[in-house]
């Protein structure tokens, strides 16, 4: 049975005190009425991690980081290692987000090093993939995403591959208010699962959680999550509103 996961990516938002209050509100909402079958994760900025992890301890909410360094330690000013992330209380780490690729020039080679660091620390990577609008308009989204997979996570041994989560995020739908239709989301998630089956076998493919990201909110979560290959969401802006986020967490309920 694949794990259902809803993860909130807070991105570069909230001060530490505001983040702690947001975490408190998310914990209260999830503990009170959140779908018990869904793993809920909050991914605050690095400077919040220790405080937020302490706040969610003992609840049904888990903590993740938004990134980690490609190196284990050393003279890399401004970087945060996977070991630091782990020691701050995180269990998950987002890797390969389109904003990291586009704004900070992260390549597949960089991501392979980051994946190795995450696995070495026992973190669960949430590996992001997805196409920009021109690729979608050209009808080449499958080839684009497959290349992202081939250059990174499809190089992993099966034992490591089984430990990760995939997030499909159509770049044209991130923060734009546009959302892939339920049919478009299912089509890509099914394609990704099929590619996993071709590489690692159907049993492995059926065990990997694939999340949808891209303007997912409480109003459309139920339709998106009704798809057989959509196992949850990686949520951006809507994760900053506890009520909206709870509505997404409950998107699997009938």
Range of the domain at 172: 4-252
Full pLDDT tens readout for the chain, 254 residues: 899 999 999 999 999 999 999 999 999 999 999 999 999 999 999 999 999 999 999 999 999 999 999 999 999 999 999 999 999 999 999 999 999 999 999 999 999 999 999 999 999 999 999 999 999 999 999 999 999 999 999 999 999 999 999 999 999 887 777 778 999 999 999 999 999 999 999 999 999 999 999 889 999 999 999 999 999 999 999 999 999 999 999 999 97
> What's the rounded Cα separation, in Å, for the pair 69 and 67?
7
Indicate the helix (H) or strand (E) that contains 65.
strand 61-65
> What's the rounded Cα separation, in Å, for the pair 127 and 125?
6
Residues designated catalytic: 97, 169
| The model scores a pTM over 0.95 | yes
- Domains of the chain: total: 1
Count the Cβ atoms, other than its own, within 10 Å of residue 15.
11
CATH number at residue 211: 3.20.20.70
């Amino acid at each position: 049975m694949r794990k259902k996961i809803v993860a909130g990516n807070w991105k570069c938002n909230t001060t530490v005190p505001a983040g702690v209050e947001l975490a408190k509100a998310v914990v209260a909402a999830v503990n009170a009425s959140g779908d018990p079958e869904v793993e809920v994760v909050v991914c605050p900025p690095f400077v919040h991690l220790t405080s937020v992890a302490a706040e969610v301890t003992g609840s049904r909410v888990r903590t993740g980081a938004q990134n980690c360094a490609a190196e284990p330690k050393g003279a890399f000013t401004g970087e945060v290692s996977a070991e630091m992330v782990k020691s701050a209380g995180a269990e998950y780490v987002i890797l390969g987000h389109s904003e990291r690729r586009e704004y900070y020039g992260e390549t597949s080679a960089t991501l392979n090093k980051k994946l190795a660091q995450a696995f070495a620390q026992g973190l669960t990577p949430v590996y992001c993939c997805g196409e920009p609008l021109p690729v979608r308009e050209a009808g080449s989204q499958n080839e684009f995403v497959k290349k992202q997979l081939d250059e990174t996570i499809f190089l992993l041994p099966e034992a490591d591959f089984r430990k990760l989560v995939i997030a499909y995020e159509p770049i044209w739908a991130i923060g734009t208010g546009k959302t892939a239709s339920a049919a478009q989301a299912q089509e890509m998630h099914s394609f990704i699962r099929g590619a996993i089956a071709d590489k690692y076998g159907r049993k492995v493919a059926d065990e990997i959680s694939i999340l949808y990201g891209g303007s997912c909110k409480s109003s459309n979560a139920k339709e998106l999550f009704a798809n057989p290959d959509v196992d949850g969401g990686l949520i951006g802006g809507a994760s900053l509103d506890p009520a909206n986020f709870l509505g997404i967490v409950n998107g699997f309920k009938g």
